[in-house]
Structure 1
């Protein structure tokens, strides 16, 4: 595994052998890009177009206002969906040497309180409609300032009456409350001259699926290196591409796909605070989106939307998909709708600064594969029993580990978890997979998602792939449920396409034709919808928890 067999393809697919160490930081890079593309659209948000010159001026003014209240190294939480204030505030904060904390808008008060205290945030930037949640935890945190804004801000006046969720909430409390628009009235402050690539830029908290969420520490160096990797792997065309700002910036993926990838390349981002398939399709046509970054459930919604049958998708050039494998049948439907687009699957994780592998835009795309390790990444498949490297081959499934100069250096204030995840420079991902003879990586499943039934290892994604082949199935999720005889048994949760009906027997018989008997779901449950994360990823853990409670109560 030390010969890095995947690198033999780099010259043919246009990927660099390595990524040079950055000699600058994102705020300084944005300053240069804004001078080069001053009169070009940086952000499009519900009809409002913000040019690069205006965008950078907002960034500098926000930085100037913020510097009156916070100091270098202070943490500032961003608790909001995608909107221009997130991009402006993020760059304004890190240009001052402050540390941006990405806070999930789906957090409950308990989760919000934990993250604010764990990160030591002194300030939070949030929406008026989210203020009640912040106010509820204010006295139990170290927050000194709440910076408020509204989704109505930065929207063209003509569009305001058509956009839902835009009612303004009156805030009576004035103590400790600042207003985003007031900070933009300050004199502009350019990025700190002595900012260094190794300085901490932001904290991105993992999903907390294995306990309390952990704060992944990103440096300016991490941000710059990954932006360059994305640029190469997605064939980003400087000054030309129009990006879908769909992936939320409070999530690791959105830091790059709705933010860094755009502004480091002079691109334009069309921001979406929430996902609506009809609105998204309309935006593709209106603004000529060329780069779509999404998860499979977004594609499911698009291909099943009535607008998709007549929409013009000719502008779409690249669709990069992460978080879960793309079912083959879904891939066929997407290609039929968007024949000009190259659809590539990618894989990564927060601790690796998001991207770890990618199929090439120009080169061999292996359906079902997460692609090749990207530049700077060295990868191994480790035997979970012996912790020794496994050779290439479909039969050699193990834990995926990687080493790169772009992985996080630590979890914030958590040396124990850091030692568990990073061993001798290798990041242990918890994902199971294998490498083929060409160096392509195949993700089999999360180690914790694997089902052990009667001594057999069953990977939910394989069963789900088969279920997605059924013409009536829109979405599905497979988990192991407690079984007193087999230890675990396979249960499938099914969402049918609109207007379709099916029986449990019909689904089981279909699965029998394509799976070994021990992999066939023994239990089928039909649902109207499946639990999803804010980025649209189906949450098996929620389903497992429901089943565990049922089992314990029986």
Structure 2
């Protein structure tokens, strides 16, 4: 059992922003947020796409219809319904429709590989999947490997079918599992995270509070997929969501100005591309109050460039599938460069020693732990508890807090390594390496070494023109020296390879496992020890 909110374990955990959770969280099921918004603002546009507008009243009615259709398709209530996270209205309808019908909705990332997709759907025991046509074709091909999958529904809208009376308890248990989210699977098979109605409604309230969302807000969603975080928080606030499926860096700016947006949501990889776009100096944001980034780290340089050009804060958030997802966010009114902010209302955070697990004071690095009402019910089919005895969840991230409780992330615990007895962060090395004008992209992993444990191995993508015909490109020893002269000895790069691309996930995270496999596979001619020997 978790301790009361005022219980202190070790040093006092960092408090959230000066916003209280009391009174912000309604006693509603997840789909009840939509029902409430439709009652309060039936004619307000809920979702705007290039194909047209959908009001809250119309969206709620479509969800009622979808609920009946899904129950008819499954043949019972209480099943797991997979919904592919496409950036369109059918996703919204199927997502809330599954929950309204008394099913558990499993959000499916269409960018997962075949093996990961089969593992995820099989683990969650998905009975039926709602998918756009191109994903449905793929799922049909995978069905022989999914004996429990009863069918794949393909439609612009779900078939018409009203929810029969009595098919759903009018007052569902708010602590029942409403949604299954899958972890990214970048370091192993995706895990099935069980999120309750209360988890998701609470986090929607937390996000709306720190982002300043209300009924007058217009949010631009410039993500490749529809993440329930942005959906639920906007519906909680009865705000208008503008979906921008065009991946071009400037498309979101144009959409924001066209629709008089107040908030612009994007990924670090897209914001970095916007910051580097030659057209940036000609762009402006007319009504946007804040640009918000999440999913992976946004480097300070592009954040600064965008903030200076647009004259609005460019802020970062932090969270995990296990936390519904948001736990931290910079307040647009009080950004702290390089930080992911303080805990959202009702959430606690502390940093503990990686080995001894003792809580650490401000400024010291260790593993980040969080505790709060948005924390999952647990992993599906897990063999043990996901938290310690006091309810703290270990995130697997290395970071530190300042005296005011702002969290600064350093790296993933699975990515850091030790050189001698020093903890080395690949991300910190990359942040120096990317400053060299000849480097367009880069990644660093550990390279095992008997004498010291491991050394840094860098992979570099050269900037356009560097190393082109007639240009010998940068001297790699000089490039290595550029980095090593700016870092302590235990972070020095010993190996450096030039590559065509850095493997990344759809949200921009480096797939270090692929690079480690390349390091471990050979001491090939391309593996080039630098002149530095630490």
Structure 1-normalised TM-score?
A: 0.85
Structure 1: distance between partners of 2:346 and 2:442: 35
Structure 1: distance between partners of 2:400 and 2:452: 27
Q: Which residue of 2 aligns with 1:122?
A: 127
Q: Which residue of 2 aligns with 1:505?
A: 477
- The Cα shift of 1:485 comes to 4.2
Q: Equivalent of 1:459, from 404, 416, 425?
A: 425
Q: Which residue of 2 aligns with 1:35?
A: 39
Structure 2: distance between partners of 1:189 and 1:476: 56
Q: Equivalent of 1:434, from 400, 404, 411?
A: 400
SS of match in other structure, 1:69? helix
Give yes or no for contact 2:410–2:427 (8 Å, CA) kept in 1: yes
- The Cα shift of 1:456 comes to 2.6
Give yes or no for contact 1:329–1:468 (8 Å, CA) kept in 2: no
- The Cα shift of 1:410 comes to 0.9
Structure 1: distance between partners of 2:261 and 2:502: 29
Q: Which residue of 2 aligns with 1:162?
A: none
Structure 2: distance between partners of 1:274 and 1:421: 40
SS of match in other structure, 2:237? coil
Residue 282 (structure 1) aligned with residue 282 (structure 2):
no
Judge which range, 496-505 or 375-384, deviates more: 496-505
Q: Which residue of 1 aligns with 2:531?
A: none
Give yes or no for contact 1:42–1:263 (8 Å, CA) kept in 2: yes
Q: How does 1:110-259 map to 2 (within 5 A)?
A: 110-141=115-146, 142-149=148-155, 153=156, 180-181=157-158, 183=159, 185-187=160-162, 193-246=170-223, 248-249=225-226, 254-257=227-230, 259=231
Give yes or no for contact 2:222–2:252 (8 Å, CA) kept in 1: no
CA change 1:470–1:237 in 2 (3 A) is: farther
What's the CA shift string for 1:164-195, capped at 9, x where partnerless?
xxxxxxxxxxxxxxxx44x1x33467985222
Q: Which residue of 1 aligns with 2:84?
A: 79
Q: Which residue of 2 aligns with 1:489?
A: 455
CA change 1:135–1:23 in 2 (3 A) is: same
- The Cα shift of 1:524 comes to 2.8
- The Cα shift of 1:484 comes to 4.5
Residue 348 (structure 1) aligned with residue 316 (structure 2):
no
Residue 381 (structure 1) aligned with residue 335 (structure 2):
no
SS of match in other structure, 1:533? coil
Q: Which residue of 2 aligns with 1:403?
A: 371
Structure 2: distance between partners of 1:234 and 1:308: 25
SS of match in other structure, 1:319? strand
Give yes or no for contact 1:328–1:465 (8 Å, CA) kept in 2: no
Structure 1: distance between partners of 2:97 and 2:153: 13
Q: Equivalent of 1:312, from 275, 281, 284?
A: 284
Q: Which residue of 2 aligns with 1:67?
A: 71
Q: Which residue of 1 aligns with 2:436?
A: 470
CA change 1:124–1:131 in 2 (3 A) is: same
Larger helix percent: 1
What's the CA shift string for 1:314-351, capped at 9, x where partnerless?
23222222233332222221112221x21222221111
CA change 1:136–1:10 in 2 (3 A) is: closer
- The Cα shift of 1:551 comes to 4.9
- The Cα shift of 1:21 comes to 5.2
Structure 2: distance between partners of 1:520 and 1:498: 26
- The Cα shift of 1:547 comes to 1.9
Structure 2: distance between partners of 1:225 and 1:111: 29
SS of match in other structure, 1:433? strand
Q: Which residue of 2 aligns with 1:54?
A: 58
Give yes or no for contact 2:24–2:205 (8 Å, CA) kept in 1: no
Provide the aligned length of Structure 1 versus Structure 2.
508
SS of match in other structure, 1:133? helix
Structure 1: distance between partners of 2:93 and 2:419: 51
CA change 1:20–1:57 in 2 (3 A) is: closer
Give yes or no for contact 1:96–1:192 (8 Å, CA) kept in 2: no
- The Cα shift of 1:23 comes to 0.9
What's the CA shift string for 1:197-251, capped at 9, x where partnerless?
21211100112234322111011111110011101111123332223152623xx
Q: Which residue of 1 aligns with 2:304?
A: 332
What's the CA shift string for 1:474-494, capped at 9, x where partnerless?
432221123354332212223
Give yes or no for contact 2:78–2:103 (8 Å, CA) kept in 1: yes
Structure 2-normalised TM-score?
A: 0.88
Give yes or no for contact 1:4–1:378 (8 Å, CA) kept in 2: no
Give yes or no for contact 2:186–2:511 (8 Å, CA) kept in 1: no
Q: Which residue of 2 aligns with 1:170?
A: none
Give yes or no for contact 2:324–2:375 (8 Å, CA) kept in 1: yes
Structure 2: distance between partners of 1:531 and 1:473: 16
CA change 1:17–1:260 in 2 (3 A) is: closer
Structure 1: distance between partners of 2:413 and 2:210: 27
Unaligned runs of 5+ in 1: 154-179
SS of match in other structure, 1:284? helix
Q: What is the RMSD of the two structures over their aligned residues, measured on CA atoms? A: 2.6
- The Cα shift of 1:17 comes to 5.6
